[in-house]
């Protein structure tokens, strides 16, 4: 691994797993340390295209199916339409859905079909990150390197992700889902704290969820929340619930609760297959550094751990049901749309309880 950037710099140190030990002026050092410590490059061979999704095997999937009791299914997707949160950052718009043929036309008799048949047809134009989605392994690079130690410039060109395109995960993302409802766990009662927005079940913007809190939440929720190898972990912060109540108000790209940079070790150690949140950016925003930094936890976990990240999921109804039944695990099917060479995918994940 002598070719990795951090190794080359000779500054091998133990990455911190506690926010109070972060040097808030040095994101580059922390990124380098965590990347070096938690890197999975080569773990699944030189040709790997799946990263931690490899942790889901047939056995895990078969066990996950046994979690289905009632047979109720829940879509975990936000809507895909022009009322979405996008404001144009990096040319990300909301989905533009237009009709090629309509019922109005059919009724007006302008379609020219025989024996009274009429039709409607439609088109969508959308950024793959516009609404509920997976980040593919080609979505983020660390100092010029993509997942598994490949040079970013030869992996993702204008022709798309030539190596780790999301189509390779087409059948992979089905398994045991576990909901960690941090919003409900940390905000079970109304609060008077002005820094909070005060709502039950919703973490305030800028709240950095730590490893200790993840583990405390698991303990509190009980045995069905145990997190381990191959699991698809869903972290609910309450940010989407607030957006539904208050309007988007910066949901896409603004402040939000999210995972602390220091959870990288936990994400690595637990050997989870993927993680998703109800926020735009998965990690806490603003981040925990006092100098310009951008999505530093992404930089560690996508290209180094090979972790697939889900964002903008709707976990609210699922949170209610899990709280009522005190069961926090379920069968989860969240296959990406196999758009060849895509570095992400819009999805409609379904939890079956």
Mark 293-312 with x for binding to a copy of itself (rule: CB under 8 A) and - for no binding: xxxx-xx-------------
- Kindly state the number of chain residues that form the binding site for a copy of itself, as judged by CB under 8 A: 115
Q: Which residue among 22, 37, 53, 128 contacts a copy of itself (CB under 8 A)?
A: 128
C-beta closer to a copy of itself: residue 199 or 250: 250
Q: How many CB atoms lie within 10 A of CB 304?
A: 28
Q: Is residue 90 a contact point for a copy of itself (CB under 8 A)?
A: yes
Q: Which residue among 18, 42, 144, 269 contacts a copy of itself (CB under 8 A)?
A: 144
Q: How far apart are CA 296 and CA 142, in angstroms?
A: 9
Residues 96-115 that bind a copy of itself (CB under 8 A): 96-108, 110, 113-115
Q: Which residues of 319-332 are buried (b: 16+ CB within 10 A; e: fewer)?
A: bebbbeeebbbbbb
Task: Please identify, among the stretches 13-21, 57-65, 194-202, 233-241, the one whose residues bind a copy of itself according to the rule CB under 8 A.
Answer: 57-65
Q: How far apart are CA 14 and CA 79, in angstroms?
A: 42
Q: Is residue 65 a contact point for a copy of itself (CB under 8 A)?
A: yes
Which contiguous run of DSSP H or E holds residue 133?
A: strand 133-135
Q: Is residue 224 a contact point for a copy of itself (CB under 8 A)?
A: no
Q: At what angle do helices 239-246 and 316-325 cross, to 10 degrees?
A: 120
3-state SS, residue 175: strand
Q: Is residue 292 a contact point for a copy of itself (CB under 8 A)?
A: yes
Q: Is residue 45 a contact point for a copy of itself (CB under 8 A)?
A: no
Residues 11-40 that bind a copy of itself (CB under 8 A): 27-28, 31
Residues 145-164 that bind a copy of itself (CB under 8 A): 146, 151-161
Q: How many CB atoms lie within 10 A of CB 188?
A: 11
Backbone angles phi, psi at 302, to 5 degrees: -75, -60
C-beta closer to a copy of itself: residue 214 or 293: 293
């Amino acid at each position: 691994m002598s070719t990795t950037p951090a190794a080359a710099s000779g500054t091998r140190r133990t990455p911190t797993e506690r926010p109070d030990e972060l040097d808030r002026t040095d994101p580059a050092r922390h990124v380098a340390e965590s990347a070096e410590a938690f890197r999975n490059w080569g773990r699944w061979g030189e040709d790997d295209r799946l990263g931690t999704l490899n942790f889901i095997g047939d056995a895990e999937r078969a066990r996950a199916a046994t979690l289905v009791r009632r047979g109720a299914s829940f879509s975990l997707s936000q809507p895909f339409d022009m009322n979405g949160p996008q404001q144009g950052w990096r040319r990300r718009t909301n989905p533009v859905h237009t009709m090629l043929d309509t019922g109005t036309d059919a009724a007006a008799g302008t379609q020219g079909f025989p024996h009274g048949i009429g039709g409607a047809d439609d088109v969508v134009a959308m950024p793959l990150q516009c609404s509920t989605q997976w980040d593919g392994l080609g979505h983020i690079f660390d100092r010029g390197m993509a997942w598994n130690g490949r040079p970013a410039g030869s992996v993702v060109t204008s022709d798309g992700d030539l190596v780790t395109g999301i189509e390779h995960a087409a059948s992979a993302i089905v398994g045991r889902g576990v909901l960690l409802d941090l919003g409900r766990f940390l905000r079970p009662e109304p609060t008077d704290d002005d820094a909070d927005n005060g709502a039950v079940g919703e973490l305030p913007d800028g709240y950095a969820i730590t490893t200790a809190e993840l583990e405390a939440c698991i303990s509190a929720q009980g045995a069905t929340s145990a997190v381990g190898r191959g699991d698809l972990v869903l972290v609910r912060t309450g940010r989407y619930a607030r957006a539904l109540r208050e309007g988007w108000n910066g949901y896409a790209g603004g402040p939000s609760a999210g995972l602390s940079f220091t959870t990288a070790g936990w994400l690595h150690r637990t050997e989870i297959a993927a993680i998703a949140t109800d926020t735009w950016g998965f990690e806490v925003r603003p981040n925990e550094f006092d100098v310009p930094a951008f999505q530093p936890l992404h930089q560690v976990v996508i290209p180094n751990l090979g972790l697939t990240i889900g964002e903008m999921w709707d976990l609210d109804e699922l949170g209610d049901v899990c709280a009522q039944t005190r069961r926090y695990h379920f069968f989860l099917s969240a296959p990406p749309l196999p758009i060849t060479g895509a570095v992400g995918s819009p999805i409609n994940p379904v939890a079956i309880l």
